[in-house]
Amino acid sequence: MQSSAIFPLFYLPPISYFSGLKDFEGHFLIEKEEHFPKQTYRNRARIYSPNGSLDLIVPVIRGNKVHTKVKDVKISNEFNWQRLHWKSFESCYRNSAYFEFYEDEFAHFYHNKFEFLFDFNLELLEWILKQLKREVKLEFTSEYFDDIAPDLDYRSKIHFKKVNDNTIYKPYFQVFDDREGFKPNLSIVDLLFNQGPQSKSYI
């Protein structure tokens, strides 16, 4: 029985992901051997736009392989999705308190090409943990584990379709909350751009 918690590698994960990591500080693995599942946070992030929630999706190359390991999934750069994502961040967070504080370093991920989704997500995660002042040594699975207790298995626990997870999230100021109110558990960048260095104490 696998005794450490296992977390998937998401694209700009929601806040609940980092709350989970905190609960298992030093006792978790990042899933590297799973087959890439469709329609998950692995290539999707949810932010707050002027028109409500907005999902940003990193396009991937499906290829002929139905069962591609997540570490082998390649990003599709047939169209300039990075420019689209960056423009979305600007339109959603340009007026937030801390967007400019992070802008120069964050822009690196949208001005440089990445071949593999796993590498892209990993670099983003490492950058985010640095901003949250979290010193975490990331370790990875070397095989796929089926025999893992449900409370340790985060591979399907955090999903964008499970919006009502009964978790109570502390409200914080969001740029457009005067339009649709507070939206909980958005991408961690929503928290960073609005709360800046104080984000660590929120999680």
Residue 139 has pLDDT above 70, yes or no: yes
* CB-count exposure of residue 110 (10 Å: 0-12, 13-18, 19+): middle
Q: How far apart are CA 85 and CA 92, in angstroms?
A: 10
Mean per-residue pLDDT, 174-197: 96
In this predicted structure, the answer to whether residue 2 has a pLDDT above a threshold of 80 is no
- R_g of the chain computed on alpha carbons: 17
- pLDDT tens digits, 43-92: 999 999 999 999 999 999 976 556 799 999 999 999 999 999 999 999 99
Identity of the residue numbered 168: I
